Amino acid sequence: MLSEARAAVTEVDAKQAIGLAGDDGHVLVDLREGREIERDGKIPGAFSCPRGMLEFWIDPESPYHKPVFAQDKAYVFYCASGWRSALAAQRAAEMGLHPVAHIGGGFAAWVAAGGPVEGKPR
């Protein structure tokens, strides 16, 4: 499944993603669970959407729909290592969300590339 997802969606590397952060035309979507974010911090300005809620929050007919997913913007998903985000980006595209991409290597690659992190415990 992971190979298929990676073949189906655009993968941006961490340095590219750092350049997209703060760009009004892009929404970075953090798919990690709350305790992962509490432990490791997050990309400043990223929208937090636990992976288990993605389909409910994207679907405009769902009572759980989030307006952030109804914008005319590009969506860049990330998780800890790039596995969940590849699958999630593929699913989001299947649901009609476009354009979508994911960060190869995930949050770990972001940190290794020197990307800013907010909320990380000292």
Rounded distance, CA 85 to CA 46, Å? 14
User: Is residue 122 assigned to a domain?
Assistant: no
Q: List, for residues 22-32, the tens digit of each pLDDT value.
A: 899 999 999 99
- Is position 118 within any domain? no
pLDDT at 121: 66
**Confidence (pLDDT) at 120:** 75
Query: Which structural domain, as residue segments, surrounds residue 83?
Result: 2-112
Structural domain includes residue 49 = yes
The CATH number of the domain where 13 resides is what?
Answer: 3.40.250.10
Residue 20 resides in a domain: yes
What sign results for the dihedral spanned by CA atoms 41, 43, 45, 51?
negative
Domain count, the chain: 1
* pTM, rounded to two decimals: 0.95
In a domain, 58, yes or no: yes
Positions in the chain whose pLDDT score sits under 50: none
